[in-house]
Structure 1
Amino acid sequence: MTDTIRRIDYYYVTAPDKPGVGAEILGKLRDAGVNLLAVHAFPSARRSQLDVVPADAVAFQAAAKAAGLKLSKPKAVFLVEGDDRVAAFAQLLSRLGAAGINVTAATGVRSGMGRYGALVWVKPGDVRKAAAVLGA
């Protein structure tokens, strides 16, 4: 089976870098019934940034507003799902590199049952070209 690669919108939320804050934010979304396809969190300027990829952007935005969360504007990320194999992620990144597209961030994970997933970020000016290269 080939990889499924989608260009999808994500949003980020910044929050204090303190224990439990991420769980609180995600709990509010859970309580609102929001399904998330991916979450990527990391420290940023003495705070935490949570990049959130919702399954339904409209429902997510409504839930975030009701929960008092301040969201970024939507930004593009590539969501990859595929059969796990040796060098799957390397092959994906090589395609972008060969096209002269710099990857600004990437996260890959084996998800079990012989599958893997990844998030790949490129600069906004490279999103269309990357989508064409990846078939997204």
Structure 2
Amino acid sequence: MADRARKVDYFKTIIPNRPGQGAKACGPLKDAGVNLLALHAFPAGGRAQVDLIPERRGDFQRAARKMGLKLGPRKTAFLIEGDDRPGAVAGILKKLGAAKINVVAVSAARTGKRYSGLLWVRPRDVAKAARVLKAR
């Protein structure tokens, strides 16, 4: 399968940076049947920022509201996927660089013979990046 990119919605939440807090934030989503395409968490100012990328935005927002999870505004990232090979992500980064689009962050991993990852650009560059990546 060729490389593929698609725009995805994500929402951030800030939680305490302590043991068990990630499970406390994600457990009720699981119980509500919410499927996440990805989750990205990292320390931020003594707390932890969790970026949640839901498969179905409406279901996710309803569940988050019901559990009292405070979400930031909806933002856009790119989910990238393809057959694993040396330099797969480098090729994507090269295309964006050639278009003068700065990648704010990227996180990718290999699973079996495939790779997938998340890629963030500035909001003003989302439409241009979508064209370059042929993202839907």
Structure 2-normalised TM-score?
0.97
Looking at structure 2, the residues matched to 124 and 107 of structure 1 have their Cα atoms a distance apart, in angstroms, of: 18
Superposed structure 1 runs of 4+ greater than 4 Å apart: none
Taking only aligned residues, the RMSD between alpha carbons, in angstroms, comes to 0.6
* Ranges in structure 1 where 5+ consecutive residues have no aligned partner: none
Looking at structure 2, the residues matched to 10 and 25 of structure 1 have their Cα atoms a distance apart, in angstroms, of: 15
Q: Tell me how far 1:23 sits from its aligned partner.
A: 1.2
Q: Which residue of 1 aligns with 2:33?
A: 33
* Ranges in structure 2 where 5+ consecutive residues have no aligned partner: none
* 1:42-89 alpha-carbon deviations (Å, 9 max, x no partner): 011111011010000000000001111001111000001111111001
Matched, 1:46 2:46: yes
Looking at structure 1, the residues matched to 3 and 70 of structure 2 have their Cα atoms a distance apart, in angstroms, of: 33
- SS of alignment partner, residue 34 of structure 2: coil
Structure 1-normalised TM-score?
0.97
% same residue: 53
- Matched to 2:123, the amino acid is P
Q: Tell me how far 1:3 sits from its aligned partner.
A: 1.3
- Matched to 2:115, the amino acid is Y
Q: Which residue of 1 aligns with 2:132?
A: 133
* 1:62-118 alpha-carbon deviations (Å, 9 max, x no partner): 000111100111100000111111100111111101110000000010022x11001
Looking at structure 2, the residues matched to 111 and 49 of structure 1 have their Cα atoms a distance apart, in angstroms, of: 25
